[in-house]
Amino acid sequence: MDPKGLLERAGLPPYPLEPLAGGDIARVYRAGPYVVKVHPNPPKGLFPAEARGLKALEEAGVRVPRVFWVGEEGLVLEYLPPGPEDWKALARALARLHRAGQEGYRAEPGFLGTFPLPGGEGKGWGAFFFEARILPLLEATRLLLGALAQEVERAFLKPLPTEGPVLLHGDLWQGNVHFAQGGPALLDPSPFVGERGVDLAMMGLFGGFPRAFWEAYEALCPIPEAVRRALPCYQIYYLLAHVHFFGAGYLPALRRALSACVS
């Protein structure tokens, strides 16, 4: 559906449409006080899953854009005017999220990008993470990975460190942070309840977050050495997704993460 039609479906008045940057998966437009997200062929459940994720983060005390309307055709969100970068405020928000304990490892069915991920729950962190997050992407990329597929499987035979389950954003790279007036907000979550190292791992990929963020975050929420050593293992999850979406150009980065994970 086109964004004008989506506004009409949501019962909102028409506004001039302005394309916004950052729509790698969906097409994103500003429409006055709203943001409209559409997709030419969205997988069933994509936008409802995003709305659920935003609600979960909001209930956990994280700033997100308000959801005004959601359907299979798209999503209408609050437009948050841009503001100054405030990495210390972002560090405080994420430290609060990562210190708020949850009951057990679990996930609702959802998406990483447009890749569907299963729901489920588990008592053991390593088995849950492998079965609910690694294995679906491994099966989707197995032919392209070749012998690397067995290396991925071997990487998760060893135990992963645990600090306790917390709600994760699940896809926390810089493009999903919006510095708005009044403070930073998070966008496009792929949430589940797991170990915070998963978020930290993505925050260290593809340029990563700046030193100002890490100094403020670690002052509030220090990272144990065992968790730090496990970050390459968690990065395998995101690198498998990039192999799936973008191809063999991400295999060298996957090899490096595997080497660091098993060392």
- Are the CB atoms for 68 and 75 separated by under 8 Å? no
- Are the CB atoms for 192 and 109 separated by under 8 Å? no
Q: Which of 86, 171, 188, 199 is catalytic?
A: 171
Backbone φ and ψ of 134, nearest 5°: -75, -50
Closest to 254 in 3D by CA, of 263, 245, 242: 242
Closest to 193 in 3D by CA, of 89, 62, 100: 100
Give the list of residues 6+ apart from residue 118 with CB closer than 8 angstroms, or none: 107, 109, 132, 136
* Ramachandran quadrant class, 95 (left: phi over 0; alpha: psi -120 to 50; beta: rest): alpha
Give the list of residues 6+ apart from residue 111 with CB closer than 8 angstroms, or none: 43, 45, 46, 49, 50, 117, 190
Q: Active site includes 171? A: yes
The neighbouring-strand residues paired with 19 are 29
Across the beta sheet with 17-19, what order do the strands follow? 17-19, 27-31, 34-38, 74-78, 67-71
Q: Is 163 exposed, middle or buried (0-12, 13-18, 19+ CB in 10 A)?
A: middle
| Residues recognised as catalytic | 171
